[in-house]
Amino acid sequence: MDIKFVEVMGYKVLSDELSKIPMDKKGTLVSCINPRVYSIATRDRLLEKALKNSDFLVLDGVYFAIASIVLKFKNIKKNQGPDVFEYYINYLNAISGRVFFLGASWETINKIKERAKIDFPKLTVDGHSPPYKPEFSEAESKKLISIVNQFKPDVLFVGMTAPKQEKWSYTYKDEIDAQVICPVGAVFDWYAGNEKKINPIWFKLRLVWLIRTIHRPEILKRYPDTFLFFWHIVLTVFRIKNF
């Protein structure tokens, strides 16, 4: 099957239908790329490796699409975290599939399960809230994997906040008994109703970043990473930096 990608700023980003991602093998890793994780990856080799070696890398926000337009004169198809979530959860509901949510608080996990019972009655859903800590020991990770594998999900959503979720998913993807693994942290709070729902029009206009900043001013702390991303675009335009 011919699948379209766009290579930009050292990363190969999917620019095609999510339906083209295969569901016939274990451990397919679908990760999201945004300015924050891009910037952290410039100083975190494991994160860089996790992103570049993901089976599929999709947009998280508009920024890499902007970079592609400026540097490659190509747009990237909008497949952001919420799009990935909605595609898979609808697909699995249609085939009476199984999905597991790993991350967030127990309150959030329970909200997700209760809502999913109503929204997706054919879907089998479960989840687990791991302890809040910067990283897990090998023994702790093995325990989490065992919990997931006992459920045997078709899709595992991982919500441990970036970049922890990306690195953990990449490190253990070959041990996880799921066809698709998606680190999509913010989606947990959106679906659980912990954050105010964003009108779909903002996704179409690609201004979700603005609405999220208005709702959560603490996001401004991430903007130095966003600046580094745009600075690298400028350096690339003037051929000072190459990828």
**What's residue 64's pLDDT?**
86
Sign of the alpha-carbon torsion through 15, 17, 22, 28: positive
Pairing status of strand 98-103 against strand 124-128? parallel
Q: Do residues 191 and 127 touch, judged by C-beta distance below 8 A?
A: no
CA 62, CA 71: separation in Å to the nearest integer?
A: 14
Question: Helix 185-192 to helix 81-94 angle, to the nearest 10 degrees?
Answer: 70
Residue pLDDT, tens place only, 114-151: 999 999 999 999 999 999 898 999 999 999 999 999 99
Q: Do residues 50 and 202 touch, judged by C-beta distance below 8 A?
A: no
Q: Whole-model pTM?
A: 0.91
Low-confidence ranges of the chain (pLDDT < 70): 196-200, 202-223
**Alpha-helical regions (H) of 134-207:** 138-151, 164-172, 185-192, 200-204
**Alpha-helical regions (H) of 53-137:** 63-72, 81-94, 106-119
How far from chain centre, in Å, is Cα 103?
13
CA 165, CA 183: separation in Å to the nearest integer?
A: 6
- 3-state SS, residue 58: strand
Read off φ and ψ for residue 177, nearest 5 degrees: -90, 70
**What's residue 1's pLDDT?**
73
CA 20, CA 30: separation in Å to the nearest integer?
A: 12
**What's residue 95's pLDDT?**
97
Residue holding tokens 């697909």? Answer: 91
Q: Do residues 173 and 27 touch, judged by C-beta distance below 8 A?
A: yes
**What's residue 201's pLDDT?**
75
- 3-state SS, residue 196: coil
**What's residue 209's pLDDT?**
60
